[in-house]
Amino acid sequence: MDPRYDIPRRAAGGGGGGSANSSPALGAQSRRRKMPPRPADFKLQIIIIGSRGVGKTSLMERFTDDTFCEACKSTVGVDFKIKTVELRGKKIRLQICLTVTHRGKGRDYLAGSTVTLHCQERFNSITSAYYRGAKGIVLVYDITKQETFEDLPKWMKMIDKYASEEAELLLVGNKLDCETDRIISRQQGERFASRISGMRFCEASAKDNFNVDEIFLKLVDDILSKVRLNVPEIHFTQCIHCLVHFGSL
């Protein structure tokens, strides 16, 4: 068995949009009138957090567009993508948001860093909106960078402070393709996750597309297993608010 953690694949329909009805019984005119896509049964927000350069953008883009960029620019502010999946017979529109990484004097600002009070207050309000709306949180570190693992408790503080207690948590050790440069063992990652109630763990590679779909689909499946399936969840506006506010920071 592959020693790397492999979340079992689940059947899922990617991408958005409904399929065209290609029945030959339909005339040319009705073919021209496309059926509107079936609206989503659920709308869920997932956020990806973690230190700089761990591969947050890469994981998001691999999942949503199946692309990988070798030399991506750092994310500043909030970035998000939409992807529709089908799970448990439901159509789910996912909004995947990247963390707010507020930069200054060459360092990242997590909560409580050396920003001015005014700036800190605004940062806190943006951050809390961003975390509050999340039904799922993907916390990422880089298995080849010690400091990204050491930063995990700081990110957990942010989760404890801002996120809903109901949010599903998944710890991801990314860059599994760099096995020869590995610093953080799989056991260390597992041990960290096991100390946090309900937190799942897996290792992945955005570059090799290993475990990426599984991360998001497993998280969504866990979220769905908690929510009542007949009540749509609408939390989309949260990230849009983040974007608007961040623009004026």
Ligand X SMILES: Nc1nc2c(ncn2[C@@H]2O[C@H](COP(=O)(O)OP(=O)(O)OP(=O)(O)O)[C@@H](O)[C@H]2O)c(=O)[nH]1
Instruction: Using CB under 6 A, list all residues that contact ligand X.
Output: 52-58, 69-72, 74-75, 101, 174-175, 177-178, 205-207
The distance of closest approach from Cβ of residue 23 to ligand X in the complex, given in angstroms and rounded to an integer, is 43
Of all residues in the shown chain, the one whose CB is closest to ligand X is: 55
Nearer to ligand X, 45 or 174 (CB): 174
Nearer to ligand X, 70 or 165 (CB): 70
Nearer to ligand X, 62 or 135 (CB): 62
Q: Alpha-carbon distance 245 to 138, whole Å?
A: 23
Strands 107-109 and 102-104, sheet pairing: antiparallel
The distance of closest approach from Cβ of residue 61 to ligand X in the complex, given in angstroms and rounded to an integer, is 7
Nearer to ligand X, 75 or 84 (CB): 75
CA torsion, points 193, 199, 204, 210, in degrees to nearest 10? 140
The distance of closest approach from Cβ of residue 198 to ligand X in the complex, given in angstroms and rounded to an integer, is 24
The distance of closest approach from Cβ of residue 47 to ligand X in the complex, given in angstroms and rounded to an integer, is 12
DSSP 23-92: -TTS-HHHHHSPPPPPPPSEEEEEEEEESTTSSHHHHHHHHHH----TTPPPP-B--EEEEEEEETTEEE
Q: What angle do CA 187, 70, 9 make, to 5 degrees?
A: 50
